[in-house]
Structure 1
Amino acid sequence: MNYENGGFGSFLRLRAKMDMVNTGGKSVPDQTKYPKYNDYVVADLGINYRYMKNHNFAFTVNNLFDKEFYDWTAVQGRKGISYSNLYRDYLEGRNFWFSYTYSF
């Protein structure tokens, strides 16, 4: 969703994963061993300001609510037990991004 007013602009971006089946690396998942992933939504919020014609400032907060997507589980291997994230997505925590662009 974007909004612009004069030289100011903003956006809200939502990224989501829902109703995902955890296959456990198998082509046919075993629902008793590999349950569905939990649903999640990540929100990013950004603003920008265009000064005159050539200068643009932008600031974004990624992962606005600082969601973590880890579901650690023990996995028995040949060399013992190790831990694995069932989500297989390693999203960064909240972070900030600033940019300045000069156009000519």
Structure 2
Amino acid sequence: MYPPSMILWEFLLPCCCGYKTTLFSDALELGYGAVVYTSVESDDKRVQYPITMRKFRVSSTKSVTIPLLELPAAVLAARLVSQATDELKVASNPTFWVDSTVV
């Protein structure tokens, strides 16, 4: 259990609304990261896009090209969506977004 200062915010997914999981991963020279968004549509058709989970890693001190970092970023996104669906206890067909032609 995380201390209250570590919890960004708590939200519940009602059964009557629609939701969709979207992931984005990217890499830079300094590191790579992934973000999981869960779009939630309420009964009155309002859609919100809260950040569900995010994780970033710093790249090694060796000279590494960005295409080499895109693959670990995509793997990180896949692990995050698995963890997010387990914790939210919802079935999801996620959409993955990467800005690389290598992955």
Return the TM-score normalized by structure 2. 0.29
- Higher strand residue share: 1
- Higher helix residue share: 2
Return the TM-score normalized by structure 1. 0.29
